[in-house]
Structure 1
Amino acid sequence: MNEQVKIKRARKAVLLIFLVCGIGLSSWAPMVPFAKIRLGLNDADLGVVLLALGAGAIFTMPVSGFLINKYGSRVIALISAFVIAALLPLLLLTTSSYQLAAALFVFGAGVGSIDVAMNAQAVLVQDRFGSHIMSSFHGLFSVGGLLGSIGLGFLIKAGLSPNIAAMTISAMLVLITVTQIKHLLPHSEEAKMDSTNFVLPKGPVLVLGIMCFIIFLAEGSMLDWSAVFLQFSRDFDPSLSGMGYAAFSVAMAVMRLAGDGIIHRLGPAKVVLYGTLLAGTGFLIAVLAPWAATTLFGFVLVGLGAANVVPVFFTAAGRIPGIPPSIALSAVTILGYSGQLAGPALIGIIAEITSLSAALGLVGILLFIVAFGYKHRD
């Protein structure tokens, strides 16, 4: 096999692994209302339980970097995909909040591990490919977000029980993984990465990390709370409650697939300014307008606006003067993903004190703060 064919196959395989991650993670979104009702949880209790998913991901990310150095990203991607597929149906079989939290922790660990592994492969393939193709990988993750969130609801609407629908999704994830994993680039071609260095962020790294925290908080709010909001605040049928995350994912996928050109034309500072203003406006429209159509429109705006902000932040982190890119990126990444760890609990607690509308509206206000707080020059 010549090098060009090998890299093309590797690119396709990485794209499909991003798809697996997107489908697996987003399939949880329409399950949240089922879990809430079955276990009799209020918004605050649900928020605390949802902490476990982010905790599993955050806990596993540094460990995954070490394991990738030792065994390779291909092996870690395979194991992680199997963990996600195995845990997905179990999320609907738990009988207590403690069991659900434990299952979500392991599920989150699988998501965190495959996230590190697939991005390591993406960087390697991009280097070999010879041009910027990173946005296409993240675009396939968002496509997976659409397929998972709306696909599970479609299977339920077609007559399958939620448990069987989840098992069907899991079987598909396994099938995609086992057919593509062999095409990922082997460990022998991966450079050793210093994945264990982490220092407490400060100065520009801390500021950038806090902004990443808010963006990931916004994305996590869509994953964990959009279906709950549509079902309990907009009277959506449970089988259709995943439409909010689906609409968000479609918009994000479209913008990420076009992201390289958009950033090139507008520059990173304007992408952050316009993107966060648009996403913040989307949250406010979704919670203030009482109609189902305007709520979904608001979620679309969130996806359009937030899509390319994180890539800009990660690029900026790698260019902070006087700080090695590996150190800055490690700190900013972990701070960012912490938004998905703390986000569900914060939203749930605020929702219990006020309302879910107020909690999601606050996320919109935080995005406005990011819009005018980013000072990077093009």
Structure 2
Amino acid sequence: MSSFARTDGTSDSADVRAARFATRAMFLVCGTVTASWAPQVPLAKARLGIDDGVLGLTLLGLGAGAMVAMPLAGFLASRFSSRVVTALGGLVICLSLPLVILAPDAPLLGLALFLFGAATGSMDVAMNVQATAVEARGTKPVMSSFHGMFSVGGLIGAGGASLLLGLGLSPLLVAVVVSGLMLVLLATQAGSMLPPERRPAQSGMRFTLPRGIVLVLGLLTFVLFQAEGAVLDWSAVFLHDARGQDPAVAGLGYAMFAVAMAVMRLAGDGITSRFGGETVVRLGSLLAAAGFLLAVLAPWPVAGLVGFALVGVGAANVVPVLFSAAGRVPGMPPGLAISTIATLGYCGILAGPAAIGFVADHVGLPMALGIVAALLVATAAAARAVRV
């Protein structure tokens, strides 16, 4: 049984139920708006007339903004209110998306993406702090369903923006439609999140350096985000180059991964409640490792698709359990602990794919993906870290 929710048979209060719904809405907002930028990337490249190298540099602004903002957001969420930081982050995400589309040159695009990334990182940390508070006040694990709504938002954002662009809407109009709809959801639900807990005046919050178990949880998050980045950036390349699939089929690798992850996260609260966080981390990491190994070792193209879907099934609920564990670390404010592992996770999803490319240049892409599988096995071995 999970160790982070009450199981005494009592039901959740009305304010907890409302906060749970509102927090799911925040995850949906964040996932939808951020993912809606993905179909716009090639259009921005063509409009500005920049090459891949310049585009890559401008896209670094998004990750840099997130990593700079995350530690500060964690401190502010713990010191003041995760509700306020979540709402403000969501507001800036929605308002900055059209600015990204309007950027007239590469430097201003990078600056707009830095703002967009900072808002995304701030909201990401703060809504996870809110999620740990909702889970602590409730009677059962709920973190996986929160992250599941982020995954659903990603599917809605990327798919919806692609559909609207395909119907002939301009990139700016698509951004305005997405941002406008999400602003309505944000405005109607933000007030239902839990307010900050009252703290004794003498226990003023101080900025505390992460240490011990938080760093362990952060390293595990790094591995899981690196695995996600590997599928995002390298699954299509692997299926095309190593398995001879045409680009349309090769792109299904990530699609199957994303759908599998969304479905498993929506079912993850029940799984975590039944088997416990440690088992979810151990078996989920092993299952994800098996997915990578199936993809790279089995010679049949369909095995690659099944393998990447299996990675999504296994990895889906590991990160939510790690975030829940970080929020329960004694002696450290939840905001600081969560911002630490979130920042390390972003390092994994940003630096991991580049490292895979470097290794692939020397030993081949199948071996590089095999190393990711080995790191997931090591994560399974360290699953006891969630016992906090």
The alignment's TM-score, normalised by the length of structure 2, stands at 0.76
What does residue 7 of structure 2 align with? Answer: none
361-370 or 81-90: bigger deviation: 361-370
Partner of residue 252, structure 1 = 261
| Aligned counterpart in structure 1 of residue 93 of structure 2, from 81, 84, 91 | 84
Match of 1:308 in 2: 317
Question: Among 26, 46, 51, which residue is 1:40 paired with?
Answer: 51
Name the residue aligned to 2:227. Answer: 218
Paired residues for 1:1-378 under 5 Å: 4-34=13-43, 39-42=50-53, 49-69=58-78, 72-94=81-103, 97-187=106-196, 189=197, 196-199=206-209, 201=211, 205-222=214-231, 235-236=246-247, 245-283=254-292, 295-316=304-325, 324-326=331-333, 331-347=340-356, 362-374=371-383
Offset at residue 215 of structure 1 (A): 0.7
Structure 1 29/195 Cα, relative in aligned 2: closer, same or farther at 3 Å? Answer: farther
Matches of 2:132 and 2:72 in 1, distance apart? 19
Distance 1:319 1:109, change over 3 A: closer
- Give the whole-Å Cα distance in 2 for the aligned partners of 1:209 and 1:170: 31
Specify the SS of the correspondent of 1:39: coil
Q: Is the 8 A contact 1:62 1:195 kept in 2?
A: no
Q: Secondary structure at the match of 1:131?
A: coil
Distance, in Å, in 2 between the alignment partners of 1:319 and 1:118 is: 15
Residues 74 and 184, structure 1, Cα contact 8 Å, conserved in 2: yes
Which one is further off, 103-112 or 267-276? 267-276
Superposed displacement of residue 97, structure 1 = 4.8
Q: Shift in Å at residue 30 of structure 1?
A: 3.5
Counterpart contact for 1:347–1:360, Cα < 8 Å:
yes
The residue type paired with residue 342 of structure 1 is A
In the superposition, relative to structure 1, how do residues 167 and 242 fare at CA in structure 2: closer, same or farther (>3 Å)?
farther
Q: Distance in 2 between the 1:231 and 1:157 partners? A: 25
Contact 2:293 2:307 in 1 (8 A): yes
Structure 2, gaps ≥5 residues long: 1-11
1:336 to partner: Cα distance? 3.0
Question: In 1, distance between residues paired with 2:363 and 2:235?
Answer: 17
Could you say what secondary structure the match of 1:197 adopts?
A: coil
Aligned in 2, Cα 1:80/1:315: closer, same or farther, shift over 3 Å? Answer: closer
Q: Which stretch of structure 1 is more off in the superposition, 33-42 or 174-183?
A: 33-42
Segments of 5+ residues of structure 1 without an aligned counterpart are: none
SS in structure 1 of the partner of residue 168 of structure 2: coil
Calculate percent identity across the aligned residue pairs.
48
Alignment check: 8 A CA contact 2:77 2:126 kept? yes
Separation (CA, whole Å) in 2 of partners of 1:131 and 1:51: 38
Structure 1 residues 71-80 or 137-146, which shifts more? 71-80
Q: CA-to-partner distance for each residue in 1:7-27, whole Å, 9 max, x for gaps?
A: 433322211111101112222
> What is the CA–CA distance in structure 2 between the aligned matches of 1:92 and 1:290, rounded to whole Å?
42
Counterpart Cα distance in 1 of 2:104 and 2:364 = 27
Q: Report the Cα distance in structure 2 between the residues aligned to 1:27 and 1:314, rounded to whole angstroms.
A: 25
Number of residues of Structure 1 aligned to a counterpart in Structure 2: 368
Counterpart Cα distance in 2 of 1:55 and 1:17: 22
* Aligned-partner residue type, residue 169 of structure 2: L
1:97-145: CA deviation from partner (whole Å, max 9, x where unpaired): 5444333221111111112222233233334444332322222112112
- The AA in structure 2 aligned to 1:335 is L
- Residue 247 of structure 1: how far off its partner (Å): 3.3
Distance, in Å, in 2 between the alignment partners of 1:334 and 1:263 is 24
Is the 1:150–1:242 Cα contact (8 Å) retained in structure 2?
Answer: no
1-side partners of 2:109 and 2:63: how far apart?
Answer: 13
Contact 1:72 1:190 in 2 (8 A): no
User: In 2, Cα distance between the equivalents of 1:166 and 1:229?
Assistant: 32
Whether the 8 Å CA contact 1:91–1:103 is kept in 2: the answer is yes
CA distance in 2, matches of 1:290, 1:167: 45
| 1:155 partner amino acid | L
1:196, distance to aligned residue in structure 2 (A): 4.9
Q: 1:227 to 1:83 in 2, by over 3 A?
A: farther
After superposition, the CA RMSD in angstroms is 4.0
Between the aligned partners of 1:46 and 1:98, the Cα distance in structure 2 is 10
Letter in structure 1 aligned against 2:349 = Q
**Counterpart residue identity of residue 143, structure 1:** V
SS in 1 for 2:52: coil
CA, structure 1 residues 316+173, in 2 after alignment: closer, same or farther (shift >3 Å)?
closer
